[in-house]
Amino acid sequence: MSSTNPPFNYPPTRQADQIDNYHGINVADPYRWLEDPDSEETKTWVEAQNNVTFSYLAEIPQREEIKERVTQLWNYEKYGIPFKEGNRYFYFKNNGLQNQSVLYTLTSLDGEARLLIDPNTLSEDGTIALSGLAISDDGNRMAYGISTSGSDWTEWKVRDVETGEDLSDYLQWVKFSGASWTHDHQGFFYSRYDEPQEATKLEDINYYQKLYYHKLGTPQSEDTLIYHRPDQKKWMFGGYVTEDGRYLIISVSQGTDPKNLVFYKDLQNPDSPVVELIPEFEANYSFIDNEGSVFWFQTDLDAPRGRVIAIDINNPGREHWQEVILQAAETLEGVGVLNNQFVTNYLKDARSSIKIFDLNGSFVREVELPGIGSAGGFGGKRYDTETFYVFTSFTTPSTIYHYDMVSGESTLFRKPNVDFNPDDYETRQIFYRSKDGTQVPMFITCKKGLVLDGNNPTYLYGYGGFNVSLTPSFSISNLVWMEMGGVYAVPNLRGGGEYGEEWHQAGTKLNKQNVFDDFIAAAEWLIENNYTSPEKLAISGGSNGGLLVGACMTQRSDLFGAALPAVGVMDMLRFHKFTIGWAWCSDYGSPENPEEFNALYAYSPLHNLKPDTAYPATMITTADHDDRVVPAHSFKFAAALQEAHRGEKPVLIRIETKAGHGAGKPTTKIIEEIADKLAFLVRSLHLS
């Protein structure tokens, strides 16, 4: 039974006699039963934990005021980047507090928009979300995926853009897949899994993805199997039709490892074979476009920060590959082709830099951005002379610009009206030394004139994994935090993609401890430089970032006043046994490998909690329908933390219902969760 630590009566959690042997080491797993989310015992436990958590949160007097301010600030029009197919433009818009954004279409930018699909009408509580979109290149058909309660499983339908009516097409058991139309507009390629067991579809492991072609007006059972590999259960397939309609590009991945294979099929000949152009998992190859038989790729082969190469499929030997854009000092994040030119998105110390090159790789110009921040978009077709991009920073809400590819001029297209003055805040970027001497950048945003007296409540957010780059972005939650006098800090930890593949690999597998060392060093820098103190410092992260928080709070419980691990990977010995968890072995390593097991066991949050230890005030957050990082991770960690913890600080778990890993979460649930997290920090960090 779990012990009682005044003033909290935590729900008792049964401990079972479960012991597993890993490479000669016996490891207890007393809360294994919590891995079954549908058992009556687990449901009772979830309800009891939520009762404790929500009762505690309801007693925080500032919570309602925080919620009102978050709601007030959130209530502004939000636009997505417009894109064009055929003679139509498409864009998403949210009026302010709509649970889901709505898709509109129009035939000219100054014309009247017409609603195409409103996901808010698909459920009363906003828990059905649009999770995929592919419009035929004539602009007349739209394939779209919908997800229920945040699940990764999606169902796909097809809508006639002109009439707004759905066709008869209905596809199931699609996961980790988009759709790509053929140029006759008669169907599209997509990837799916075999039908799972209904009772365990949110936990069962996902293997053997298959690539199909769906012809409009036919049942899914008649879809054409394009490619699968019964001998490769981990292979996943992404099918993309080239802009000229000639080829199907098949990117083959093994989970989250950035290395991939590239195959192709000539669509002019229905009986053409699938050709293995790049048959080895040696580097990342991202298809950009083609000029006839010449394919352009962005790759990190022999260029960890990225470059552009050309491969002629009629002469595909490596000795004939051509280098088009050389590796730069900055990290190449993405490449597109517009106005018959390459538009490249670079990261320079985690800030965006957009450069344009001609097709021979000669530099043309750099796009002048509105400031230091993140830019994205620049979508469109090969010969388009116009495009759109979005710019954001820690103090700039997502603002959309129209860009003229010929003149190089940016014109403001949509600027949100948020009820705050950005001039009241400032962002600076500092560099600090990690444990091994590595220089790590960190963004710090706060009110201007902040007094460095070591007493400022500080929210330290991190991720550090899977080649993901954390770049400046605007957040209502962070704005409310800073309005309350808080500091918001984001270090660019190893494991991310900010400095290319070498930076990523420096935070994976046997090097994963570097990520935690980087995060701990960021906390120490903030304390040493009088931004804050341990009792005023909160740490937060989600998914792999939840693992980050869990590992750091177990390694340095003295360093933090509060911890908010969200949907985290907490059991590093069993993560690979659920849904897509096996795919993360590329970053984490495998518990079945003795050397990697030792590294995993050394930092696994669940296995490194120490009895009779005073941990920071902690609120774990997860969701009962999370089929990416199954909630068992958070359930087991919460039970073990409540058992080990001593002291008066609360250790709680907040379990969202009818929600998943985060994608598609309705606005109402997002605002409630923000209010709960900030209220928890107000009390935990003793903010006035």
Kindly report, residue by residue over 421-464, the tens digit of the pLDDT. Answer: 999 999 999 999 999 999 999 999 999 999 999 999 999 999 99
Cβ proximity of 473 and 560 under 8 Å: no
- Could you report the per-residue pLDDT of 74-98, keeping only the tens digit for each? 999 999 999 999 999 999 999 999 9
Q: Which amino acid is at 492?
A: N
Instruction: Tell me the average pLDDT of the chain.
Output: 95
Residues 158-212 have pLDDT tens digits of: 999 999 999 999 999 999 999 999 999 999 999 999 998 888 777 778 899 999 9
In a domain, 237, yes or no: no
What is the rounded distance in angstroms from the CA atom of residue 545 to the CA atom of residue 535? 21
Percent of the chain with pLDDT over 90: 91
Specify whether 343 is located in the same domain as 411: yes
| Assigned token pair, 10 | 């935590």
Q: Which of 378, 398, 416 is the last residue of a domain?
A: 416
Phi/psi for 220 (5° steps) reads -60, -30
For 481-523, how does the pLDDT look when each residue is reduced to its tens digit (9 = 90+)? 999 999 999 999 999 999 999 999 999 999 999 999 999 999 9
Domain residues for 348? 331-416
Do residues 401 and 519 both lie within one domain? no
Provide the whole-model pTM.
0.92
Does a structural domain hold residue 19?
A: no
The residues with which 311 forms a beta bridge, in sequence order, are 295
CA–centroid distance for 572 within its chain: 20
Residue 253 lies in a domain: no
Count how many domains the chain has: 2
Residue pair 393/374 in contact by the 8 Å Cβ criterion: yes
What pLDDT, on the 0 to 100 scale, is given for residue 660? 63
* Residue 5 predicted with pLDDT over 60: no
Q: Is the pLDDT of residue 412 over 70?
A: yes
Same structural domain for residues 594 and 576?
yes
Record the tokens describing residue 91, joined without a space: 């864009």
**Confidence band of 626 (pLDDT split at 50, 70, 90):** confident
Give pLDDT, residue 321.
98
Indicate whether 412 and 525 sit together in one domain: no
Task: Residue 281: count other Cβ atoms within 10 Å of its Cβ.
Answer: 15
Q: What is the pLDDT of residue 6?
A: 44
* Residue-by-residue DSSP string for 309-377: EEEETTS--GGG-EEEE---SSEEEEEEEETTEEEEEEEETTEEEEEEEETTS-EEEE---SSSSEEEE
Cβ-Cβ contacts under 8 Å for 278 (sequence gap 6 or more): 260, 261, 262, 263, 285
Tell me, yes or no, whether 519 and 644 share the same domain.
yes
Please tell me whether residues 437 and 409 are part of one structural domain: no
Give yes or no for residue 1 having a pLDDT over 90: no
- The answer to whether residues 392 and 501 belong to one domain is no
pLDDT at 7 over 60: no
Whether residues 450 and 381 share a domain: the answer is: no
Give me the pLDDT at residue 659, please. Answer: 66
4 pLDDT exceeds 50? no
Q: Give the type of residue at 610.
A: K
The CATH number assigned to the domain holding 502 equals 3.40.50.1820
Place of tokens 């007006």: 217
Last residue of a domain, one of 365, 399, 416: 416
Q: Give the C-alpha separation, 661 to 682, whole Å.
A: 25
Which residues are designated catalytic?
543, 626, 661
Same domain, 497 and 536: yes
Q: Are 351 and 499 part of one and the same domain?
A: no
pLDDT at site 3? 38
401, 416, 431: which is the final residue of a domain? Answer: 416
pLDDT at 235 over 60: yes
For residue 303, the model assigns a pLDDT of 98
pLDDT category at 151 given cuts 50, 70, 90 is confident
142 neighbors 133 (Cβ within 8 angstroms)? yes
Q: Give the number of other Cβ atoms within 10 Å of residue 255's Cβ.
A: 19
* Residue 220 tokens, joined: 């899914």
501 and 584 within one domain: yes
User: 629-663 pLDDT, tens per residue?
Assistant: 899 999 999 999 999 999 899 999 999 986 666 56
Q: What is the pLDDT of residues 9-44, one digit of tens each?
A: 899 999 999 999 999 999 999 999 999 999 999 999
